[in-house]
Structure 1
């Protein structure tokens, strides 16, 4: 994933000296246009199916916007990286291999022409990640882009709640929060809120942002997460933070203090608010409905019992809408098995394993903690949410983790003295507004 950072240079900063012929020159920082490209990728993965919005939006219009965003993201990334300078990345390489079973299973059109369209979409998505990999240097740049873009999405959800509370909390979803301006489901909103809460908490512990700007992100996101009643996102947030902060306990006093206070608060909440927490967690469901995961288990059993040919077992039936028998699969592993077969399942497992293994081998750091949080969140959510086998927010989360685990590009300095560099105060390096 690249060489070591040249001694004395700041991560992601401009080169302080020329490089020898043949050595890769680090890009001079991350261009601002990269933030726009990342925002377009986020827009593309929002989806087109969800709750009814205040102003009805035709699904064809939403699909045109989301697909147009992906095409624009690829075009901008290509314009920004015309020389096609990319970084070696096991994550993106395995994603590229995932295209193979996707195309093999989709060319026979068993899932219709939509399968080939989704293959093209996945190819553009992966191509954009390859082009952006040039700026994956182990820094926190993409973490900040991730937080900003999803916070903007949550801002639209909050705006819809203020404009029309009835549309944002419909009876169709049991009074759970949905997107009233853009069709977003409660699990989607819960996922976005949980991810940016976890990343922002880690930035505060690492002193990479001030508490005021962190509170602006965390507090409203917690409110929206609570209104969605999304159990998967809540568990993913809690377990992901425990694992991420646990990786910092030996090196960070702030992490140890936060962990201690978090445990005390959890004990008090469990004792004093046990009944309220149980009511929120059950969402008014019966024990039977809760035990079969709101009907998901029935769909899973039917999917596994369905007859398949050898080709379908190996390569699936083609990229579809992550449903079986007209019902959502809501499990990444079974959705990949259905659409990309055992080959796809093996590749997705390799992606999680490689990222997790690299994170465990890294020395303790804030970047490693953020990567562990994102990887563990995606692994937990994969049990009740689909998305690891196609262009989705989960692949964007893992892409951010891959950017955090990438080593800075090697640059060999010529024997000329480096240009003087302005000394940056410690507080200015560590504390930044999100």
Structure 2
């Protein structure tokens, strides 16, 4: 199988993983889509991704990865807590989904060689998702910005919430900016991705994604400042533009940030703090504290938890929280130990973005876009695969057939001198 063909299959597998993690709950779409149909599509995408990854890696060649190993360990408390069926049979189904997700990452780890290949796959796939959001906005602006969500942008063709769209836009904006600074893409191609993504991010009014984008980019570019003149110029211009915007557009930025909420609503994180307090105050047995209640829909009392750490604590217990913390710490520690490079900067951006978003978004303990972001970071931090020289087998020695001697006539022989 040729290298180009294999690369296309790997890109297809990554796209199917992205499709699987889009979810099935969100805004009402222009054409009503039954949730059962959406779940069938997303789960079918995961099965297809695993099958394709297995087909292209039949010899099961994998690379050592602390990230995927810790994810595999996370399956243990997930299965133990879900086996009690306190969360219903859906918990076991989610465990099987997580196992298939982790298995696909193991199969793809063969191609994790420290190159930005998966960064490009990531940008392409999420840009395609944002293209569907933009298409829905053009077709039906009312459905794409409903009053139910306060006029914020949602998915009108596929049920996507404003935080989801904001997350996808922020991630591909940050990665594309870093590719431009690393001279891995031209400015025209980058503008095609960055400009519409910025517009969609602004329409979502997603504070977490915006803060994650700016803080993640600041940390990533800061890691390049000492070695890249382009990074220094960009950093200086970014600081200047931020200062001008803070002075000239302070009122507009404040109105966008508040989203019409009061200071009390903002301080309570739009009601999230009440759910968090109730979750922490709920009585739990020792087993539930250690292993959790089983994989669920990341809600408590019918309300979304919207915090990765509390969601993991609720579903996978303190053991799950420890494993997720180890994932972030290991990836962050490896990134800090790497010498300055574009790959390191992209990894720092993704890790810091996921760490920031984990405070108001759930997903670090289950198959989600956040785990895909961290998987891209792990692929960037992987050591380049050592080139294996092709061993030339020793050619078998062919026995030379014995050439029959020509009979010399008696008269032509030299006479012996006696």
TM-score between the two structures when normalised by the length of structure 1: 0.89
Partner of 1:428: 412
Deviations 1:129-164 (A, max 9, x none): 000000000001000000000000000000000000
Q: 1:424 to 1:49 in 2, by over 3 A?
A: farther
Q: 1:355 to 1:281 in 2, by over 3 A?
A: same
Q: 1:174 to 1:314 in 2, by over 3 A?
A: same
| Aligned counterparts of 2:138 and 2:269: Cα–Cα separation in 1 | 31
| Aligned counterparts of 2:410 and 2:178: Cα–Cα separation in 1 | 18
| Aligned counterparts of 1:85 and 1:429: Cα–Cα separation in 2 | 70
Deviations 1:284-304 (A, max 9, x none): 001100000000000000000
Determine whether 1:178 maps to 2:154: yes
Task: Determine which of 221, 234, 238 is the counterpart of 1:258.
Answer: 234
Task: Determine which of 41, 45, 60 is the counterpart of 2:17.
Answer: 41
| Aligned counterparts of 2:186 and 2:243: Cα–Cα separation in 1 | 28
Deviation at 1:430, TM superposition (A): 78
Contact kept in structure 2, 1:241 and 1:373, CA below 8 Å = yes
Contact kept in structure 2, 1:109 and 1:115, CA below 8 Å = yes
Hey, which bits of structure 1, 4+ residues long, moved more than 6 A? 414-434
Determine whether 1:305 maps to 2:270: no
| Aligned counterparts of 1:201 and 1:212: Cα–Cα separation in 2 | 12
| Aligned counterparts of 2:417 and 2:353: Cα–Cα separation in 1 | 24
Q: 1:287 to 1:200 in 2, by over 3 A?
A: same
Contact kept in structure 2, 1:292 and 1:298, CA below 8 Å = yes
In structure 2, stretches of 5+ residues that fail to align are 397-404
In structure 1, stretches of 5+ residues that fail to align are 1-21, 25-29
Deviation at 1:410, TM superposition (A): 2.1
| Aligned counterparts of 2:149 and 2:408: Cα–Cα separation in 1 | 51
Contact kept in structure 2, 1:209 and 1:431, CA below 8 Å = no
Counting only pairs closer than 5 Å after superposition, residues 202-221 of structure 1 correspond to structure 2 as: 202-221=178-197
Counting only pairs closer than 5 Å after superposition, residues 348-367 of structure 1 correspond to structure 2 as: 348-367=324-343
Counting only pairs closer than 5 Å after superposition, residues 397-412 of structure 1 correspond to structure 2 as: 397-412=373-388
Deviations 1:188-219 (A, max 9, x none): 00000000000000000000000000000000
Q: 1:352 to 1:44 in 2, by over 3 A?
A: same
Deviations 1:100-151 (A, max 9, x none): 0000000010000000000000000000000000000000100000000000
Q: 1:54 to 1:410 in 2, by over 3 A?
A: same
Q: 1:417 to 1:72 in 2, by over 3 A?
A: closer
Contact kept in structure 2, 1:23 and 1:410, CA below 8 Å = no
Q: 1:423 to 1:416 in 2, by over 3 A?
A: farther
CA RMSD across the alignment: 13.5
Q: Aligned residue pairs: how many? A: 408
Deviation at 1:408, TM superposition (A): 1.5
Q: 1:106 to 1:416 in 2, by over 3 A?
A: closer
Q: 1:57 to 1:423 in 2, by over 3 A?
A: farther
Deviation at 1:409, TM superposition (A): 1.7
| Aligned counterparts of 1:115 and 1:287: Cα–Cα separation in 2 | 38
Contact kept in structure 2, 1:375 and 1:401, CA below 8 Å = yes
Q: 1:152 to 1:83 in 2, by over 3 A?
A: same
Deviations 1:81-106 (A, max 9, x none): 00000000000000000000000000
Q: 1:336 to 1:269 in 2, by over 3 A?
A: same
TM-score between the two structures when normalised by the length of structure 2: 0.92
Deviations 1:8-60 (A, max 9, x none): xxxxxxxxxxxxxx999xxxxx5210010000000000000000000000000
SS at match of 2:179: helix
Contact kept in structure 2, 1:209 and 1:433, CA below 8 Å = no
Contact kept in structure 2, 1:205 and 1:255, CA below 8 Å = yes
SS at match of 2:309: helix
Deviations 1:326-356 (A, max 9, x none): 0000000000000000000000000000000
| Aligned counterparts of 1:296 and 1:329: Cα–Cα separation in 2 | 7
Contact kept in structure 2, 1:115 and 1:320, CA below 8 Å = yes
| Aligned counterparts of 1:42 and 1:431: Cα–Cα separation in 2 | 94
Contact kept in structure 2, 1:213 and 1:433, CA below 8 Å = no
SS at match of 1:110: coil
Contact kept in structure 2, 1:137 and 1:409, CA below 8 Å = yes
Q: 1:432 to 1:361 in 2, by over 3 A?
A: farther
Deviation at 1:392, TM superposition (A): 0.1
SS at match of 2:7: coil
Task: Determine which of 264, 279, 296 is the counterpart of 1:320.
Answer: 296
Q: 1:415 to 1:33 in 2, by over 3 A?
A: closer
